[in-house]
Amino acid sequence: INKKVRFLVTASDVIHSWWVPDLAVKRDAIPGYINESWTRVEEPGVFRGQCTELCGKDHGYMPVVVHAVEQAEFDAYLATKMEAQKAADEAAKSTLTFDQLYEIGEKSYQVNCIACHGANGEGGVGPKIAGGVVANGPIDAHLDMLVFGSRNNQMMASYWDRLNPAEIAAVITFQRNAFGNNTGDVVQPIDVVKYKQNTN
């Protein structure tokens, strides 16, 4: 609060419009461009908005939430995020055990995958994981799906910018060994990094 805050806005898929009425901020988010705006908030609080561009099937599920906080609270938040990023960077360089990957993958699945693929991998909006083609097929196809998303349709978004390499490796390992899938496959964070570097 009490500082000029600059917003940089872009999109990775289609045109969105980032809007928070109480902050007098509305800016189009366009793939390949960075738009900017700014605001100054004087009192702590939570400010809500939404995407105001009819952007596709998930338009109704794009809330915007801005937390305006005191400097000390922001500094603590930033320190926590920096520590988490440092841990993620270290994890990307390390070799994790199957149990570590499975545990991280299960948590990531519950946060990121469950809504589309079901609590037990039974499918729903997205295809099933239990006995599914991707989870039981070639590892490269599974990597491709999480790193790049569905290349032929808009059903599956890329998770490259949403999860770190350790989380992607973990969720793939989990999916290939949970819900009755018993491939025995283990994907390490370095496998994810190399796949991204070597594939267009």
Q: Which two tokens stand for residue 129?
A: 């994981």
Q: Determine the pLDDT at residue 26.
A: 93
Q: The pTM is what?
A: 0.61
Question: Which burial class, exposed, middle or buried, applies to 75 when counting CB atoms under 10 A from its CB (0-12, 13-18, 19+)?
Answer: exposed
Tens digits of residue pLDDT in 87-131: 777 767 789 999 999 999 999 999 999 989 999 999 988 899 999
Give the Cα separation of 192 and 92 in Å (integer). Answer: 9
Q: Determine the pLDDT at residue 154.
A: 57
Give the Cα separation of 108 and 127 in Å (integer). Answer: 17
Q: Where would I find the beta strands (DSSP E) of 11-117? A: 16-20, 25-29, 35-40, 45-51, 63-68
